[in-house]
């Protein structure tokens, strides 16, 4: 090899080696960066980072230019008491998203709240970029997806137990006890079989908050508890009407409108036997604009292009309610509904002026978007909140807790509803009692895979209800409280 060519090759190899060695922040820098990241994204002074280490040091060097994703493990010490399952403040879901962790990778959150001095361990992912020859923490990164059910041994065992339990019940059920099963869908068949010795709950689309919460509950007793994945509230109600399931998950406003056969449920007729079982977790109204937008209030949305995240059959109605309460003439406002990813893409491009979303805070998708794009939240005016929450309204006055989205340091005035378990008077009280026992059994919701499930508490089970309680729920709770 000629000398000149050899020198070029050596320089290239040396450059590649140096790039490989420049693998991002050191462990010491990680601890400092993580401390600042947590202080900026949670209540100030809540945590002390006592240890932090990178976990990707044994993998092949990342040869790509910045930004760069790293995996880490950290130990945090609480400096004061804090309950990550409380409705009114940043919760476990906010913490996991802030740190780029999956719920199962967060250990140490106590079901009844943590005390000062408690330790929490986190395994997560962060994104670093390079500026002025220094690595700087940019944001958290989404955790890697969980293993597919076919690759997860626990899931395989759970599925086997479910199948075995359903088979045994089918064998020993007297003929005629399960009418029309041969012509029913597999979904209805599984649900009816589960009801023979337990309960079946229609939750919603897979990976949504309602589905994840019910999955956490049902997986503990798979032979007698079934989480029925559906396309949403309409299918949930159809399954409940048919008697296939014990209960369903509905938003408070959906439950009230469905019982009366109003709004999006007008063509379905009334559902007078619909009853509340328990509130599960809160959802808050988000009104979002780009960080660079000149829009400062909801009143200024008149004449603007507003997109509504398609989060259920009442999503457009909710947006209408918010705008009307602020006296924004709908005739002059372009209002359209679409899936949240599409809505965020249009907001990012400036092709829409605002986004309206009802969701449990933080919405994982919105938080990831806010990690790389500046956004602002428009508060609801006090008069509008009063109007929305008086009379027979299904809304309650809430605040969107501070520190749940990047750059959102203060609470934002809003209205909300609760995701509720709803059943029918045709479902026996004993079945509802069994279901409530499973719902409020003490568990490590994070280990079960759902951070939102940490919000499911017996102490909040009767908050924001929009229907009378089922008789089985009255017995379980021991007292009857009116919906409001």
pLDDT digits (tens, 9 = 90+) for 160-216: 444 455 444 444 444 443 333 333 356 666 676 667 778 899 999 999 999 999 999
Per-residue pLDDT of 49-88, as tens digits, reads 999 999 986 555 455 556 888 899 999 999 999 999 999 9
Report percent pLDDT > 70 for the chain. Answer: 81
Confidence of residue 37 (pLDDT cuts 50, 70, 90): very high
Q: How confident is the model over 462-479, as a mean pLDDT?
A: 94
CA 17/CA 7 separation, integer angstroms: 15
Q: Are the C-beta atoms of 396 and 389 separated by less than 8 Å? A: yes
415: Cβ contacts below 8 Å, ≥ 6 apart? 284, 285, 322, 380, 385, 388, 389, 395, 396, 397, 398
Q: Are the C-beta atoms of 404 and 361 separated by less than 8 Å? A: yes
pTM of the model: 0.84
Three-class SS state of 4: helix
Report percent pLDDT > 90 for the chain. Answer: 66
Q: Is pLDDT of 7 > 90?
A: no
Q: Are the C-beta atoms of 326 and 416 separated by less than 8 Å? A: no
CA 234/CA 26 separation, integer angstroms: 52
CATH number of 149-279+421-477: 3.40.190.10
Average pLDDT over the chain, rounded to an integer: 85
Bond prior to 67 in cis (omega within 30° of 0): yes
Lowest mean pLDDT among 225-229, 254-258, 281-285, 287-291: 225-229
Strands 225-228 and 199-202: parallel
Per-residue pLDDT of 270-312, as tens digits, reads 999 999 999 999 999 999 999 999 999 999 999 999 999 999 9
Which residue in 245, 240, 254, 208 sits closest to 227, CA to CA? Answer: 245
Three-class SS state of 466: coil
CA distances from 374 to 34, 368, 371, 430 (A): 21, 11, 8, 50
Q: Is pLDDT of 231 > 70?
A: yes
Bond prior to 362 in cis (omega within 30° of 0): yes
Lowest mean pLDDT among 181-195, 324-338, 374-388: 181-195
| Between 166 and 382, residue with greater pLDDT | 382
Per-residue pLDDT of 141-174, as tens digits, reads 776 655 444 444 444 444 444 445 544 444 444 4
Where do the CATH 3.40.190.10 domains begin and end in the chain? 149-279+421-477, 283-417
CA 90/CA 245 separation, integer angstroms: 33
CA distances from 450 to 56, 97, 295 (A): 26, 12, 35
Instruction: Tell me yes or no: is domain 283-417 CATH 3.40.190.10.
Output: yes
Q: How confident is the model over 350-369, as a mean pLDDT?
A: 96
Q: Is pLDDT of 376 > 50?
A: yes
Q: Are the C-beta atoms of 335 and 320 separated by less than 8 Å? A: yes
Which residue in 242, 241, 244, 251 sits closest to 274, CA to CA? Answer: 241
> Residue 2's pLDDT is what?
59
Enter the tokens of residue 304: 């603007």
Which residue in 269, 219, 214, 241 sits closest to 423, CA to CA? Answer: 241
Half-sphere exposure of 124 toward its Cβ, with a 13 Å CA cutoff?
A: 27
Q: Is pLDDT of 224 > 90?
A: no
């Amino acid at each position: 090899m000629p000398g000149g060519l050899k020198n070029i090759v050596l320089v290239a190899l040396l450059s590649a080696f140096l790039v490989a060695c420049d693998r991002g922040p050191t462990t010491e820098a990680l601890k400092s960066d993580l401390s600042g990241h947590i202080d900026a994204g949670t209540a100030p002074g809540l945590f002390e980072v006592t240890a932090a280490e990178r976990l990707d040091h044994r993998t092949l060097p990342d040869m790509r230019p910045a930004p760069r994703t790293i995996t880490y493990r950290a130990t945090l010490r609480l400096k004061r008491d804090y309950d990550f399952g409380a409705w009114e403040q940043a919760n476990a879901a906010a913490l996991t998203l802030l740190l780029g962790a999956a719920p199962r990778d967060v250990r140490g959150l106590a079901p009844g709240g943590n005390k000062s001095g408690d330790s929490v361990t986190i395994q997560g992912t962060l994104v670093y970029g390079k500026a002025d020859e220094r690595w700087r923490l940019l944001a958290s990164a989404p955790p890697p997806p969980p293993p597919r059910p076919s690759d997860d041994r626990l899931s395989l065992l759970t599925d086997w137990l479910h199948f075995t339990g359903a088979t045994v019940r089918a064998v020993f059920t007297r003929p005629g006890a399960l009418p029309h099963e041969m012509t029913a869908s597999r979904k209805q068949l599984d649900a009816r079989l589960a009801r023979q010795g337990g309960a079946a709950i229609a939750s919603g689309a897979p990976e949504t908050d309602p589905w994840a919460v019910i999955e956490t509950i049902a997986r503990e007793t798979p032979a007698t508890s079934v989480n029925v994945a559906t396309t949403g509230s309409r299918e949930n109600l159809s399954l409940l009407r048919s008697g296939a399931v014990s209960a369903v998950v509905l938003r408070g406003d959906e439950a009230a409108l469905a019982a009366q056969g109003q709004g999006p449920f007008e063509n379905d007729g009334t559902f007078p036997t619909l009853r509340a079982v328990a509130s599960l977790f809160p959802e808050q109204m988000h009104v979002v604009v780009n960080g660079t937008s000149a829009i400062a209030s909801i009143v200024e949305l008149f004449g603007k292009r507003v997109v509504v995240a398609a989060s259920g059959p009442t999503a457009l109605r909710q947006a209408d309610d918010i705008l009307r309460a602020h006296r924004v003439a709908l005739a002059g406002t372009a209002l359209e509904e679409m899936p949240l990813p599409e809505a965020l893409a249009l907001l990012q491009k400036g092709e829409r002026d605002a986004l309206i979303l009802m969701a449990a805070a933080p919405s994982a998708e919105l938080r990831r978007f806010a990690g790389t794009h500046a956004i602002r939240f428009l508060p609801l005016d006090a008069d509008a909140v009063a109007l929305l929450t008086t009379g027979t309204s299904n809304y309650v006055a809430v605040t969107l807790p501070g520190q749940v989205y990047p750059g959102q340091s203060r609470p934002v005035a809003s209205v909300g509803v609760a995701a509720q378990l709803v059943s029918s008077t045709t479902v026996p009280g004993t079945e509802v009692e069994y279901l409530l026992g499973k719902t409020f059994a003490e568990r490590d919701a994070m280990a079960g895979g759902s951070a939102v499930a940490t919000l499911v508490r017996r102490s909040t089970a009767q908050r924001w209800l929009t229907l009378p309680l089922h008789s089985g729920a009255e017995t379980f709770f021991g007292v009857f409280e009116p919906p409001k």
